[in-house]
Amino acid sequence: MAYKKDTICVQGGYRPKSGESRIPPVVQSTTFFYEKTQDMADLFDLKADGYFYTRLANPTVAAFEGKVAELEGGVAGIGCASGMAATTLMAFTLCGAGDNIVSSSAIYGGTFNLFAVTLPKLGVETRFFDPDAPAGEIEKLVDGRTKLIFGETVANPAIKILDFEKIAGIARKHGVLFAVDNTLATPVLCRPFEWGANLVIHSTSKYIDGHAAALGGMIVDGGNFAFKGNARYPAFNEPDESYHGLVYADLPAAQFATKCRAQMMRDMGAMMSPQNAFLSWLGCDTLALRMERHSSNAKRVAAFLAAHPKIDWVWHASLPENKYHKLAERYLPDGQGGMLSFGIRGDVKQAARFMEGLKLITQETHVADVRSCVLHPASTTHRQLTKAELEEAGVPENLVRLSVGIEAPEDIIADLEQALAKV
């Protein structure tokens, strides 16, 4: 029986057998014991399921992987040390020198940097597109060496909503894998596999953990991409000599996840720690409840700010006048999440005065946990970008990013009001 998301948040990923602990134990061990050499050989050959070394798999991490994969409706999850580790592993699993990624330019600053600066040093090019551009224009960027089309459901910090069907249509037409960073929507508000995505990435450090307690990342394999016979992906169709000649496209399921774990996690070692998996698993229990409150609080805060004379503009898709309102009605009908951005009238100094005047809401690099916080991206997360790149990423210099928490909405609004009075 397929359970609803609220139920999976609480019950997913771990079912104890009689006499076992009700929640997953923290299996704080690097390695696992076997009596028979053959048992271990079968694990290495992927003929059996089990654990032999925590860099590749661990029972606590597996419980968390199972919960997020189930929530997304995918076939397998891979717990990573951070969201950036997940995105990096995804890129390495698909791309080699000479290949390219076609990516929305409205993405998290760290991901932008990975794609625009770090991967090109290894011979992987990224071609950025404006997510609002017509399909025909975006499609021109795809060529025979494109391995991945990438976007964010709710772009951080531009709060743009991805037009899934437009991008999925291009990906399907060209037989290219479509991956989505679903961090700021979470599977509670949007499930990208239902709209044509093939892979989902999460920084679980955000809403999924929800308490600013554990760094983590997740790759979820949708199991819905045809690698077999697709000439674009020779690495999936030819024997992997580093893994006993395995042909990943011949596997019955989870072809991407298997290659990613067996090859890339083995070589790069960016695994999630059991302790972080435990904390994230626990945090995820309340994800559905929290996303409801984050969304309703942000909707009230957005309406308050939009009506305030000292505010230039507000971006949150709950606002009827917002450019992405229609897309949000389609892809995020149950709430648009707690992230919003706005511009203070005046210059950067006014923005700083406002932020320093806040008493309840704190200045942090983090977003998307239970406590409200603010950030000025141009001087922090996006400071490595030039002014032109900031514009391209949709992050004006006077933009303040507000992550609305689950406190009483009246208290959040009162804090904003008193800080705006100081501007």
**Residues lying near ligand PLP in the complex (CB under 6 A):** 82-84, 108, 110-111, 152, 156, 181, 183-184, 203, 205, 215, 217
SS3 33: coil
Measured from the CB atom, the residue of 131 and 217 that comes closer to ligand PLP is 217
- Cβ 386 to ligand PLP, closest distance in Å? 20
> In the sheet where 146-152 sits, what is the strand order?
76-80, 217-221, 199-203, 177-181, 146-152, 100-104, 125-129
Shortest Å distance, C-beta 328 to ligand PLP = 17
**17-21 CB contacts, 8 Å cutoff, 24+ apart:** none
Measured in whole angstroms, the distance separating CA 45 from the mean position of its chain's CA atoms is 31
- Token digits of residue 307: 């009506």
How many angstroms separate the CA atoms of 52 and 57, rounded? Answer: 7
Closer by beta carbon to ligand PLP, 236 or else 278: 278
Report, in Å, the least distance between residue 366 CB and ligand PLP. Answer: 7
The alpha carbon of residue 371 and the mean position of all alpha carbons in its chain are separated, in whole angstroms, by: 20
Residue with smaller CB distance to ligand PLP, 65 or 152: 152
- Report the residue number, 377 or 409, with the smaller CB distance to ligand PLP: 377
Distance CA 242, CA 228 (A): 20
Q: How far is the CB of 216 from ligand PLP (least distance, A)?
A: 7
Residue placing its CB nearer to ligand PLP in the complex, 201 or 262: 201
Q: In this chain, which residue has its C-beta nearest to ligand PLP?
A: 83
- CB 215 → ligand PLP: shortest distance, Å? 5
Beta carbon nearer to ligand PLP, 100 or 156: 156
Q: How far is the CB of 360 from ligand PLP (least distance, A)?
A: 22
Residues in the chain, overall count? 423
Alpha-carbon distances of 76 from 10, 52, 133, 199, rounded to whole Å: 18, 19, 32, 10
Rounded to a whole number of angstroms, the minimum distance from the CB of residue 202 to ligand PLP is 8
Which CB, 110 or 169, lies closer to ligand PLP? Answer: 110
Distance CA 100, CA 140 (A): 13
Q: Which of 348, 285, 288 is nearest to 312 (CA)?
A: 348
